[in-house]
Structure 1
Amino acid sequence: MARGRRASAARLAQVLMAAWPFVMMGGVVAVDLLAGPQYGYLTLLALGPAFASLVGRVRRTVVIGLLAAVLSLVLAVYDDLLGARQSDLSLLSIAGVTVAGVLAAMGRQRREQELADVRSVAEVAQRVLLRPVPRRAGHLRAAVSYTSANAEARIGGDLYEIVTGPGGVRVIVGDVQGKGLEAVETAATVLGAFREAAHDEADLLGVTRRVERALNRRLSGEEFVTAVLAEAATDGTLTLLNYGHPAPLLLRADGETLLAEPGATAPPLGLSELNAPGPAPYQVPFAPGDQILLYTDGVVEARDRTGSFYPLVERSFLLGDDDPEQALEKLRLDLVAHVDGPLHDDAAMLLLRCKDPALPDAA
Structure 2
Amino acid sequence: MEYGRRRQGMRARGRSVVRLVPLLLLAGIVLADFNTGEQFRIVSWIVLVPGIAAAICGVWTTAALSLLSVVTYVAVDGAWPDQYRAGLADFILVAVGGLLATLAAAVRVRRERQALHIQDIAETTRRTVLRPLPPRWAGLEHAGVYLAADVDARVGGDFYDIQPSPHGVRVLVGDVQGKGLGAVEAAAALLGTFREAGYHEADLVTVAERLETRMRRHRQHTTSLGKDDGDRFATAVLIGFPEDAGDVIEVVNFGHEPPLAVGPHGVRELPSGDGVPLGLAELADGLPPVHRVPLAPDETLLLVTDGVTEARDGPGCFYPLAREIDRAVVADPGRAEPRRLVRRVRDDVLRHSGGRLDDDTTAFAVRRTARTADEAHERGRLRT
* Residue equivalent to 1:95: 95
Number of equivalent positions = 344
The answer as to whether partners of 1:241 and 1:279 remain within 8 angstroms in 2 is no
Deviation at 1:287, TM superposition (A): 3.4
Provide the C-alpha distance between the structure 1 equivalents of 2:363 and 2:59, rounded to a whole number of angstroms.
Answer: 40
- SS of the equivalent of 2:368 reads strand
Q: Structure 1, residues 96-133: CA drift from partner, whole Å, max 9, x if none?
A: 22222222222222222233233334433433441426
Change (3 A) 1:10 1:231: same
Q: Is the 8 A contact 2:253 2:271 kept in 1?
A: no
- Structure 2 distance, partners of 1:226, 1:26, is 63
Please list every run of 5 or more consecutive structure 1 residues that lacks an aligned counterpart in the other structure: 1-5
Q: Does the 8 Å CA contact 1:170/1:230 hold for their aligned counterparts?
A: yes
> For 2:204 and 2:346, how far apart are their aligned partners in 1?
40
* 1:249 and 1:257 in contact (8 A); partners too: yes
| Distance (whole Å) between structure 2 residues aligned to residue 44 and residue 278 of structure 1 | 76
Q: Which runs of 5+ in 2 are unaligned?
A: 1-6
RMSD over equivalenced CA pairs, Å: 4.8
Is 1:257 aligned to residue 272 of structure 2?
no
3-state DSSP of counterpart to 1:132: coil
Equivalent AA in structure 1 for residue 228 of structure 2: G
Separation (CA, whole Å) in 2 of partners of 1:99 and 1:263: 63
Identity %: 26
Deviations 1:209-239 (A, max 9, x none): 1231244134743666553323345563532
Which whole-Å CA distance do the structure 1 matches of 2:327 and 2:8 have between them?
A: 29
For residue 207 of structure 1, report the CA deviation from its aligned partner.
3.6
1:208 is matched with: 211
Shift in alpha-carbon separation, 1:185–1:263, aligned structure 2, 3 A: closer
Q: 1:256 to 1:337 in 2, by over 3 A?
A: closer
Q: What per-residue deviation string (whole Å, max 9, x for no partner) do you get for residues 79-108 of structure 1?
A: 435996x43222222222222222222222
Matched, 1:351 2:361: no
Q: TM-score, normalised by structure 1?
A: 0.71
Q: CA deviation at 1:14?
A: 5.1
Aligned to 2:41: 40
CA, structure 1 residues 98+133, in 2 after alignment: closer, same or farther (shift >3 Å)? same
Instruction: Give 1:262 deviation, angstroms.
Output: 2.1
Higher helix share: 2
Residues 330-349 of structure 1 aligned to structure 2 (within 5 Å): 330-332=340-342, 334=344, 347-349=362-364
Q: Which amino acid aligns with 2:153?
A: R
Normalization by structure 2: what TM-score?
Answer: 0.67
Q: Which residue of 2 aligns with 1:109?
A: 109
Match of 2:75 in 1: 74
- List per-residue Cα deviations over 1:274-311 (Å, max 9, x = no partner): 9799984473622332331224467668899xx99684
Query: CA 1:287/1:329 → structure 2, altered by over 3 Å: closer, same or farther?
Result: closer
Select between 120-129 and 154-163 the one with higher mean Cα deviation.
120-129
Give the drift of 1:187. Answer: 3.2
Quickly say closer, same or farther: Cα 1:300–1:134, change in 2 above 3 A. Answer: same
**Could you say which residue in structure 1 is the equivalent of 2:251?**
239
Check whether the contact 1:296–1:349 (CA below 8 A) recurs between aligned residues.
no
CA contact (8 A) 2:145 2:363 kept: yes
Name the CA distance, whole Å, in 1 between partners of 2:327 and 2:169.
Answer: 28
Deviation at 1:192, TM superposition (A): 0.7
Q: 1:286 aligns with which of 284, 294, 305?
A: 294
Aligned equivalents of 1:196, 1:232: Cα separation in 2: 17
